[in-house]
Structure formats: C-alpha cells, structure tokens
Amino acid sequence: MAGSVQASMAERMARVVPGGVNSNVRLEVADRFVARGLGARIWDVDGNDYVDYVLGQGPAFLGHAHPRILARVQAEIAHGMTFGAQSEVELLAAEALIDALGWAEMVRIGMTSTETVQAAFRLARTRTGRPLFLRFRGQYHGWLDNVLISPAEPTPAPASRGQLPEALDQSITIEWNDVASLRGTLDRHGDRIAAVITEPMMLNAGAILPEAGFLETIRAECSARGILLILDETITGFRLGPRGAVGRFGVVPDLAIYGKAVAGGFPASVLAGSAELMSEFASGTNHSGTFNANVLACAAIVAAMEVMADGEVHATVEATGSDLMDQIRSLLSERDLPVQVRGLPAAFHLSYDDDLPVRNYADLLRGDAARYGRLVHAARDHGLWLTGRGIWYVSAAHDRTTTADTLERLARAIAVAETGAVRA
C-alpha cells in the first residue's frame, strides 16, 4: 500500500476525521478508499477490483448503482429534496411498502434504523405504560446509550467509553434460542416489560437461525402478557424474501423495523405496524425528523419495491447463494479446514470452529476470530471484499462469474492466511 493513492488519502483523512473514518464500524478498513461500485463489484482508488460481499454492510442487496434505482432517484430529486411538507413520492413509497409487506397497515419513514428503533420503543411505552425491553445477546439495535451493549458480557454492559451505564437499566438481555430463559424472564419481569425486540434471524452476528418454534413462542408469550413484539428487520427485511422474515418464518410482529435493503442502497428506514398502534404517533407520541421521508429516500424505496415485486430477485439470490455456499464448503473441505458455513443463501457466516451447533452468541464465541481475521486480511489483498465479523451478503448482482472469481481468489487467500498462521 506504500506510495499508493489510498495510502495518501488515508494519511490525509486521519488528519481531519477521527480514526480516518466516519463510522467506527469502518476502522478495520481505514486504509481502503473505494472509487466506485457496480453490480457485485467495487474498485478502489488504486484501480484494484473486488468481488463484494460486504455490500455497504448490507444495503446494496440489488447490487451497486442499480440503474432503475438511480433513474428514479435522479428524476425525483431534480425537483428538490425536502419541503417541510409531504410529497407525492412519499405517499407512493408508503403505499408500496404496505403492499409489499402484506401485514402492516401503516408506516413511518425515517433515515436510520438506530433512530427508528427508538421510535418503536417510545410507541411500546405509550401502549403498555411499562419501562423495560427484553432483547437477545449479540444482537445490534443501534449505537445509542440505551441499546449499545457489549456482547462479550452475558448481561447488559456498556460497549463504549462515554456511554451512560444507567441507560442500560431499560434492558434485560438473554441468550437467543433459549425458551426456558425467555419464559423465566417473562415470569419475573413481564409486568414491567413493554416489548421484546429481536432480529428474527441473528444476522448481525453469526447468521443464526431461530430454532423450530422459537419465534412462535416469543409471539405467543408476548400476546398472552400484553407485551409488544418488535422485529428488527433492519438486515433481514427484503433480504430473506419479498416480505422479509415475516414472510419467511410466518410470525407477525406488532411492530417491525426495516432498513438497508429497503431502499436499494440509499439511506432510509421504516417502522411498520397496525393502524391502531401506529396512530399513537398522531395522538401525542412524538416522532420527528427533518429528513424523514425525504424525496431521495422515498424515490429509492419506490424503485426498490418495483424491482423486487415479482420475486425473481430473491429466486436469483437463493440460487446464487446456495451454489456459493456449497462450493465454499467443498473448497474448505479439500483443504481440511475447520470452518463452518451456515445461514441462508442471502446472508451466511463463516467461522473457524468445530462442527457443534451454533444456537446463540455464547456458542459463536467458540470460533477462532483471530484466524478468520487473517483470512479476511488476505482476502482483501486478493480481491475479495469481506467483513471481519464473518457475515457474507449476497446480492442480486452476484452470479456464476462472481462465484468462480470468488473461489479462485479465496483459494489464494487461504494459502496466504494459513501459511502465515503456521509461521506465527
């Protein structure tokens, strides 16, 4: 990297932006600068190309620079971006979302899922009059004080300097896929719990599926105890299918949060629910934001819903992702490497681990994160854009060509990473 355009940019960036990044998630790639993306590939400012399985941490589900998304956005923003009143494309976006989801009656459109989670919490407190939230270890619901927790600890603990520990007094955290713990916690604290919030599938960490009946049990327990069920579909929404995890697993929440794939790579988030519940926002429960439902976001949502409407996108991702997972398993098996490949074709996880099941975050900690980190570092140097936490996102733009390129580049990266591991 010495003498490269990227090295120069990284040096300049570090002088004007803390850590050289505008999101701490990017600290692991502070030395990398992307010039452009198209489909399933990105190119850095030095001209190196990468097959991309980060997809901007998930949003580019349709691929980078999708022509229909760009065309609709460009046409709409030519007339302005935000007006302090409603726009037609805002109405079209809301209608398209409700039609696509199939279960929700009303939506509110925001900018980020971090803020939309807070809107869902406020609505849950309004409805129940209760202060607490039950959540699951290893799941991420934003970076604000009351939700950012250290997954290394089994009980809620701050994950950042400067974070108010008392803000976490609102949270009770248990392990995923643990029905006994769920029921025991609800028995002890249920009369003070406003909502259970969960990813319907753990995708931020581990690509861990819900065990048979687990989501159904959460739904039944919430209904019986007057507790709201909030599904955080920031990652799963529109990625696991045209109706997200609700369509895939058949469990309908009281509220759901959507982000990332909802707008084809553009910044937008959505809170969805019943008309009876969502109407609280018009009756004294505040939800505000200058850039909520701006023209850019809403145009992107409308176009994304159109592109995904017929199901072909998801069929393509299922086929491509399934083949990719199988071929990666074969490659790893040939080299006798103890790596698990688990999850769904649209988003799967790799970790150096034994063959025991991974049911929750505690199980995920078994993996050799340092060894996987060496592989990721080598992969980036060989043209694979991967994230260090093990998740691989597949887009509608990935195909047989990208799979072939991936396997060839991954094989070379493994050779370097494993040789380095032996030397160390």
Paired sense of beta strands 347-352 and 391-393, if any: antiparallel
Same domain membership, residue 405 and residue 258: no
In which band, very low, low, confident or very high, does the pLDDT at 2 lie, cut at 50, 70 and 90?
A: low
Tell me whether residue 2 is in a domain: no
**C-alpha torsion angle, residues 327, 329, 332, 334 (rounded to 10):** -70
Question: Angle formed by the axes of helices 214-225 and 179-189, to 10°?
Answer: 10
| Residue that is last in its domain, among 279, 308, 337 | 308
pLDDT digit string (tens) for 235-249? Answer: 999 999 999 999 999
Does the pLDDT value for residue 296 go beyond 70?
yes
Tell me whether residue 315 is in a domain: yes
In which band, very low, low, confident or very high, does the pLDDT at 136 lie, cut at 50, 70 and 90?
A: very high
Average pLDDT over residues 303-314: 96
| Residue that is last in its domain, among 261, 281, 308 | 308
Quote the CA–CA distance of 315 and 40 in Å, as a whole number.
17
Quote the CA–CA distance of 358 and 32 in Å, as a whole number.
32
Residue-number span of the structural domain to which 96 is assigned? 67-308
Same domain membership, residue 383 and residue 277: no
Spacing of C-alpha 64 from chain mean position: 17
CB within 8 A of 60, min separation 6: which ones? 37, 52, 264, 265, 395
pLDDT digit string (tens) for 347-374? Answer: 999 999 988 999 999 999 999 999 999 9
pLDDT digit string (tens) for 113-133? Answer: 999 999 999 999 999 999 999
Average pLDDT over residues 137-154: 91
Tell me whether residue 20 is in a domain: no
Average pLDDT over residues 164-190: 96
Same domain membership, residue 117 and residue 192: yes
Does the pLDDT value for residue 18 go beyond 90?
yes
Same domain membership, residue 242 and residue 94: yes
User: How much is the pLDDT for 153?
Assistant: 79
Tell me whether residue 22 is in a domain: no
Walk across the sheet containing 34-38 and list its strands: 34-38, 41-44, 49-52, 384-385
Same domain membership, residue 270 and residue 128: yes
Tell me whether residue 177 is in a domain: yes
Same domain membership, residue 232 and residue 101: yes
Which sign does the torsion angle of CA 265, 210, 116, 28 carry?
Answer: negative
Same domain membership, residue 217 and residue 78: yes
pLDDT digit string (tens) for 213-241? Answer: 999 999 999 999 999 999 999 999 999 99
Same domain membership, residue 320 and residue 303: no
> What's the CATH code of the domain at 38?
3.90.1150.10
> What's the CATH code of the domain at 191?
3.40.640.10
Tell me whether residue 23 is in a domain: no
* Contact yes or no for 37/61 (Cβ under 8 A): no
Does the pLDDT value for residue 250 go beyond 90?
yes
Same domain membership, residue 302 and residue 233: yes
With a threshold of 0.85, does the pTM exceed it? yes
SS3 212: coil
Tell me whether residue 15 is in a domain: no
Does the pLDDT value for residue 424 go beyond 50?
no
How many domains, in total, are found in the chain?
A: 2
Same domain membership, residue 328 and residue 282: no
Tokens representing residue 65 in the block? 């620079």
User: How much is the pLDDT for 399?
Assistant: 98
| Residue that is last in its domain, among 259, 285, 308 | 308
Tokens representing residue 270 in the block? 């959505």
Tell me whether residue 8 is in a domain: no
In terms of phi and psi (left: phi > 0; alpha: psi -120 to 50; beta: otherwise), the region of 207 is left
Query: What mean pLDDT value characterizes the chain?
Result: 95
Same domain membership, residue 407 and residue 296: no
Same domain membership, residue 212 and residue 93: yes
